[in-house]
Amino acid sequence: MQLLIATHNRGKLIEYKELLAGLPFELSTLDDVGIHDDVEENGATFAENARLKAVEYAQRSRLLTLADDSGLEVDALGGEPGVYSKRYAGEGKSDADRYWFLLDKLKNVPRAERTARFHCVIVIASPDGKLWQTDGTCEGEIGFEPHGSHGFGYDPIFQVTERGMRMAELPPEEKNKISHRARAAEKAKLILAQIRSS
């Protein structure tokens, strides 16, 4: 049975192959099934954006589709950057541009008030309109400067509470056990197993 992962990113496909290992699905990307454009992610929440993508691509491909949306929520900034995590410092900016922009906004915020979390919502949609949703979070705080060379995005400035180190300092196999996406995918795996056996 085929499962469409709603992404053009081969790296994300590889990550999902690891996260969903053991399930009897053949995973493919949008490009694999001939979809080369993007759904506009204009939802106000991660759940809305994931749902927009899952529903649209399931209808267009006629395949069971998994879509996610995720980002960083910083309490001192009222939950920013949230759904704008990828374009927080403006369009076309690098990961470093974004995290330095965020660090600048937090420059006068003391350590005790720098709590944050990575949040991921996964939506699975069937071509006939059924929907399932899971989510996962990874709690931490924002450091004062970047550390580590693994990962991407805000990983160098995100201190993982349960590990006492930056997300970018964790080897990928460790990150894939505790990340927000890993936690959401663990729940999605149970749903996919039920779908497959029904």
Q: What is the pLDDT of residue 15?
A: 87
Tell me which of 31, 37, 38, 69 is the catalytic residue.
69
Residues 6+ apart with CB under 8 A from 15: 176, 181
Is 69 one of the annotated active-site residues of the chain? yes
Contact 32, 2 (CB under 8 A): no
Q: What is the pLDDT of residue 157?
A: 97
DSSP string, 59-88: HHH-SEEEEEEEEEEEGGGTT-BGGGGGGT
Contact 106, 126 (CB under 8 A): no
| pLDDT tens per residue across span 172-196 | 888 888 999 999 999 999 999 999 9
Name which of 84, 175, 176, 180 is nearest 135 in CA terms.
Answer: 180
| pLDDT tens per residue across span 80-112 | 999 999 889 998 899 999 999 999 999 999 999
Residue 143 CA to residue 66 CA, distance in Å, equals: 32
Name which of 68, 58, 69 is nearest 2 in CA terms.
Answer: 58
Geometric angle at alpha carbon 63, from 57 and 64, rounded to 5°: 90
Specify the pTM: 0.92
Burial code (b: 16+ CB inside 10 Å, e: under 16) for 105-139 equals bbeebeeeebebbbbbbbbbbbbeeeebbbbbbbe
Give the range of the structural domain holding residue 150, as residue numbers without chain letter.
Answer: 2-197
Q: What is the pLDDT of residue 170?
A: 94
Rg of the Cα atoms in the chain: 17
Number of domains in the chain: 1
Residues of the chain with pLDDT under 70: none
Look up the CATH number of the domain holding residue 99. 3.90.950.10
